[in-house]
Each structure stands twice: as C-alpha cells, then as structure tokens.
Amino acid sequence: MSDPLFPDGTCTQQHAVKNRYQTEIFNMAETHSLQDMRQQAAVAAKVFVQRDYTSGTMCQFQTKFPSELETKIDKQQFEETIRTLNNLYAEAEKLGSQSFIEGCLACLTAYTVFLCMETHYEKVLKKIAKYIQEQNDKIYAPRGLLLTDPIERGLRVIEITIYEDRSFTR
Amino acid sequence: MKNCEYQQIDPRALSVSPLSAQNPAETKAQRPRRKWEAFPGKNRFFCDGRLILARQNGVLPLTLGLIVVTSGLFFAFDCPFLVEHLTVCIPVIGGLLFLFVVASLLRTSFTDPGILPRATAEEAADIERQIDTSGSSTYRPPPRTKEILINQQVVKLKYCFTCKMFRPPRTSHCSLCDNCVERFDHHCPWVGNCVGKRNYRYFYSFIISLSFLTSFIFGCVVTHITLRTQAGKSIVLAIQESPASVVELVICFFSIWSILGLSGFHTYLVASNLTTNEDIKGSWSSKRGAEESGNPYSYSNILTNCCVTLCGPMPPSLIDRRGFLAPDEGIPVASASEIELPPFTPKSEANMCTQSTKDVLERMLRSSDFHGLCPSGTPKTSPLVPEVPGAPPAAKPPVSSGCSRQLAHRAVVDPCPPFSKSIRRDSLHSINPAFRLASPSPTLSRSVLVVGDGPDVGFPPQH
C-alpha cells in the first residue's frame, strides 16, 4: 500500500504520518500556490466591510480600516484595494453614453438583445473578479487573508477571511 | 487498514473516498440541486431557474388573456374592414404594439426584480454583535435602525428580521414574496411579480405601450363603427354587424382610464426619481413647512432622472438561481451565498477567484486520491479520479452569456457529461459531509469555499 500523497514512499513513511503530513503539506505549498496552504489552515475570523451609502445607492464600500486587520496588512494597501474596487463598481454603474445606447437598443429590440449580448455591468463584474483574484494571489494570500467577491454576498459586504497563522513556511 | 488511519488523521483530503465508496448509488442517484430549488423566498421558478415569478400570480393569466383576446378580436373583426377602407398600416402598427406589450409584460413578470439574497449566518452574527450592546437575549430587541447620511440628508436604514441585514436605502421587504427587493416600487398582482430595480423599466414600457395599444384599438374601433354608420346604416345595425367591436370598446374604455392614469403617475415618478413606495409613504415630501426634505436620490434635471431610471446600466441578478447547491445542503439559512461555485453560470468567469481556489484544491485532492486511497482499490476510490482528467473543458462554464445558456441547458438535459461536471463541482463540497462525519473540527480545507452555511453545518460559528 502506497502512501496516497507520496506515491514513491515506502511503508515506513506511514508510521510517522501525523507530523510529517503537516510538514509535507506546507512544503508542498511552496510548489503549489499559497492558497493550498490555506486549505489546511483554520478560519480564525471574518471581517465584513460594509457598504458606504453616502453617495446614494451606488455600490461603494467603506474604506475604513477594520481593527482586526491591523496586525495583518498595511492600511494603505487595504485602502488601495477598496478604492480600486469602488472605482470599478462606479464604472459599472456609470451613466454614460454606452449605457444609454445599450438601454435604447434594448428597448427597441423589446429587450431581446440581452439574450445574445453581455451587459456593460457584467463585463465590469468580470474585471472585478479578476482584480480580486489578483489581489488575493499577490497581497492577501501571503498574509493569510482571503477576499471574497462581493457579488457572492449580494453586493452587501466584502468578506475578508482571516486564517490562523499556523504556517511554518512564509 | 493503514490507509484508513490516514483518513482519520487527516480527513480533509481523504474523507471523500470512504463516503463515496459506501454510497456509490446514492451519489449517482442524487441529482445536483440548483440554488433556486432551495430559495427561501416565496417565488416560483421556471425553465430550471431562468424565469422567476411570485408565488401569488393569479392575475397574470387574466392580464395576458385580456390583452390577447382584445387584440385578437381587433385583428379578426375590425382590421379587415379598416384595411379595406383605410390603410394596411393599421394592423401592422397594431401588431407591433401588441408584440411589444406582450414582450414587456413577460419580461416584467419573469425577471428578478432585484431580490437581495439573505445574509449569511456569519454576516448576521457580525451585525448582531455590532448592534447588541446590552446583550439581552430574552426578548426580541426593539426594531433596529441605523441612520446614515446620503447627500447630506439623514436616511434611516431599517433592519430586516427575515433577511437578517440592514436594508440598503430604497430597499423594502415584500411580504407577498418574502424577499427584500432593491428600489422596491410595488408588488403588482397584474404582472404577478414585484416591481423593483431590475424590472422597473420593463414595467414602465409595458404600461406605456399598453396605453398606446388600448388607445389605438379604441380609436380604430370607434372609426370602424363610425365608418359603418356613415354608410347610411344606423348605429344599432352597425353594431349588429360587428358585435366584437362592442366587446373591445367596453374593455378598452375601462382599461384606458386606469392604464393612462397609471402611466401618467409613473411618468411623474420617473421624472422625479421616486418609487411608488416612497411616494405613498411620503418619505420625501416636506412635512414641516420650514424644513425641505427633498429626495436625496433625485438629480435636479428631469431628463437625467429619466435616463437614470430607464436607460441606466442593467444591474445583474444578485440571487444566483442556477448555481449548484452542495449535495448535503437542504434549505440553507441564507440562500445563494454559501456556495462559491461559479455563480451566474454560465457567466461564472466573474468568479475566477474561487474557481482557481477550487482548482488548486482539486489538484491537491487529485494528487492524494490518484494512488488509491482505499486498499481494496475499489473503482469508487474517489469520484475525482475518473472525472478530473476526463472532465470536458466545457466543465468550466462557458464565457459568453446568453447563447451559452442554451448550451448549459442542453448539457444539463444530457445525463452523462454534465453529471460528471457536477460531480466534479460537488465533490468539492462532498468533502464537507464526510469531513463532518470523520471529525467535527472546523479546520477544514473546505472552509475556504463553504462559508456561512447556517446551523446545519457542523462547525461552530467563527468569530
């Protein structure tokens, strides 16, 4: 019977399984992405960044730095992320000529055009998803954090999951 | 067995196999459920979650029936005469108007009005923590409100006990549909749905086009009868020749008053960027003479207000109707929020973040599963093994939106390949129940992906 994770291993490896397993996982994490490591980490807390309604019903998030993240990430970095997200959402909801033309075209075709075309908002949502993934990979994952795309929470909150700092390798 | 020991030590990566080994038939037999099947609001879904309607939609068939019957009578009885005596444009215009009316009506009825998904358990706990100062849990606390400033004006946000969140501004909870709806206008029984942010423009175009249609039919029928009378016959005789016209006249006469009135009212609302709800409640009317509490959402220009309401960008649906539920989930506390499968399938590229996390997890599991988790080497070693390499590239939901819905629909109908797709997706979740069986510890790889499952999930709330 081979060790499922270490196929080239012998029977003797299975005896010291518990301690080795964790170390091996973290070593493997170096070859995979840091998100792998996080699979083994515990969720310590979740922070919710609420919506900011001061400019109306537009989708904007509060840039206030949550106290739970003080030890984890740089304030500037965090605010930069939120500000970029806010700008992206503002772009999605912008009343420009593009949205106007889209609206008129939709009306003229009795709204059947949306069966074949993606709306401007959806295109920007994809951009946002890419940006969040990029931020997670570059900035938040190495610090044991994970940003959740707000669209998965109904655009109510940005959920930031804080993972327990159990890593031996950082 | 040595390998079972492995599983107990680290059930996270390995627990998938014993469960699937034990219940191969069950896994296969359980069709992966979509989120709309577990939606907590009182809505009905059609076409596998593509169309949404309120549960109480009794009058929608009546509306459709009236429109179709009146127009049918018009085309059958009045048009031949009018084409002969006047012009062929009449049925053409009538036909176009009719099509537009029906399209707008169906669009209004079957579009998600802007339903807000309910808060996840963790969000609700977080909000509760922020509000709860005295910590008395014996009685229901008084209605919670939060005051915020919008454009230098104080607006009160109310806490929704059903959805467990503070309602965004202009959002209201519809008791008939049991949902919070963004920019809630009203619940229209004629249309069989709430009218909210996402379908207000369709509703408006419906009532405007319907007023044109009824006026047009009314005018044409009157012309028809007048022309017949002018040919030397009495009115009674003219009516006897064309009895359907009387029916149309009656229907149109009564409809015109209400529809035209409604159109005028909604035109006023659009121009001042108000909702019916706000207008009825008098939220922004200046009650005190000295203090002018104007509408904070209104731009000062009527044209801008119209453009914002009718030609603004089309927000996406926030409830993910067609995403898949984890097989263990029955009715989640908060819908459409826990599963980080690509929502908006097929527009799932919006969530590449979670997709990549899942890919990474899959790679991990594949490496652990590939070499036989169970010593017996049963074919059900891991559901991941056969289909990860074999999963068709289309397992990743396609990028393009509307046309690919057809593709997804056809794929779902076809039993084998999409099932493997869904196994692939759901196996990520099936780790969860096995994990719970093996160990109640919350330290789970899946905790990355499954968050806020509500009380039915084994792990304690995270604080």
Handedness of CA B443, B446, B447, B450 (dihedral sign): negative
A169 domain residue, yes or no: no
The pLDDT, as a whole number, for residue A166 is 59
* Listed range (B22-36, B142-156, B397-411) with the worst mean pLDDT: B397-411
- Enumerate the residues of chain A whose CB falls inside 8 A of the CB of residue B318: 151, 154-155
A120 domain residue, yes or no: yes
Of B202, B352, B364, Cβ closest to residue A111? B202
Distance CA B415, CA B399 (A): 22
A49 & A36 share domain = no
pLDDT at B346 over 60: no
List phi, psi (to 5°) of A131: -65, -45
Of B9, B99, B370, Cβ closest to residue A21? B9
- Enumerate the residues of chain A whose CB falls inside 8 A of the CB of residue B377: none
pLDDT at A142 over 70: yes
A92 & A136 share domain = yes
Contact A111 B107 (CB under 8 A): yes
Mean pLDDT (chain B, rounded): 69
Q: Which residues pair with A157 in a beta bridge?
A: A50
Within B61-188, strands assigned E span 115-116, 145-150, 153-160, 165-166, 172-174, 179-181, 186-188
A112 & A35 share domain = no
pLDDT, one tens digit per residue, over B192-233 is 899 999 989 999 999 999 999 999 999 999 988 888 888 777
Share of chain B above pLDDT 90, in %: 15
Residue A71 gets which letter from DSSP?
T
**B295 to chain A, closest Cα gap in Å:** 11
pLDDT, one tens digit per residue, over B55-88 is 776 788 999 999 999 999 999 888 888 888 888 8
Longest dimension (CA), chain A: 73
Contact (Cβ atoms closer than 8 angstroms) between residue B366 and residue B312: no
Residues in CB range of B314: below 8 A, 6 or more apart: A102, A103, A106, A114, A119, A120, A121, B198
pLDDT tier, B291 (very low <50, low <70, confident <90, very high otherwise): very low
Q: Does A26 touch chain B (CB under 8 A)?
A: no
pLDDT, one tens digit per residue, over A102-140 is 888 887 887 777 778 888 888 889 999 999 999 999 988
A168 domain residue, yes or no: no
pTM greater than 0.90: no
Of A121, A148, A159, Cβ closest to residue B314? A121
pLDDT tier, A83 (very low <50, low <70, confident <90, very high otherwise): very high
pLDDT tier, B359 (very low <50, low <70, confident <90, very high otherwise): low
Closest-CA residue of B relative to A120 is B313
Which residues form the domain of A109?
42-163
Q: At what angle do helices B416-438 and B402-413 cross, to 10 degrees?
A: 80
A7 & A79 share domain = no
Q: Does A19 touch chain B (CB under 8 A)?
A: no
Distance CA B101, CA B203 (A): 10
Which value does ipTM take for this structure? 0.72
pLDDT at B426 over 80: no
A9 & A70 share domain = no
A158 domain residue, yes or no: yes
pLDDT higher at B352 or A157 = A157
pLDDT at B433 over 90: no
Average pLDDT estimate for B136-154: 69
Chains A–B, number of C-beta pairs less than 8 Å apart: 227
Handedness of CA B328, B330, B331, B333 (dihedral sign): negative
Distance CA A160, CA A140 (A): 9
Active site residues of B: 188
A13 domain residue, yes or no: yes
Average pLDDT estimate for A1-30: 52
A104 & A158 share domain = yes
pLDDT at B379 over 50: no
pLDDT tier, B3 (very low <50, low <70, confident <90, very high otherwise): very low
- Which one of A142-156, B33-47, B148-162, B207-221 scores highest in mean pLDDT? B207-221
The pLDDT, as a whole number, for residue B264 is 94
Share of chain B above pLDDT 70, in %: 59
Q: Which residues pair with A48 in a beta bridge?
A: A159
A170 domain residue, yes or no: no
**B109 to chain A, closest Cα gap in Å:** 13
**B312 to chain A, closest Cα gap in Å:** 6
A47 & A73 share domain = yes
Alpha helices in B299-371 (DSSP H): 302-311, 352-369
Which helix (H) or strand (E) element contains residue A81?
helix A75-92
A116 & A158 share domain = yes
pLDDT at A70 over 50: yes
pLDDT tier, A40 (very low <50, low <70, confident <90, very high otherwise): low
Q: Which residues pair with B187 in a beta bridge?
A: B194
pLDDT at A144 over 50: yes
Amino acid symbol at A80: E
A64 & A25 share domain = no
Which tokens hold the place of B194? 């709430």
A54 & A24 share domain = no
Distance CA B25, CA B33 (A): 17
pLDDT, one tens digit per residue, over B246-258 is 888 888 999 999 9
A31 & A82 share domain = no
The pLDDT, as a whole number, for residue A24 is 53
Average pLDDT estimate for B91-107: 92
The pLDDT, as a whole number, for residue A14 is 55
- Enumerate the residues of chain B whose CB falls inside 8 A of the CB of residue A114: 314, 402
Which helix (H) or strand (E) element contains residue A145?
strand A145-148
If contacts are CB pairs under 8 Å, which of residues 62-91 in chain A contact chain B? none
Residue from A8, A153, A155, A160 whose CB has the most chain B CBs within 10 Å, to mutate = A153
A7 & A87 share domain = no
Which tokens hold the place of A155? 């655009």
For chain A, how many structural domains are there in total? 2
List phi, psi (to 5°) of B39: -70, 130
**A62 to chain B, closest Cα gap in Å:** 13
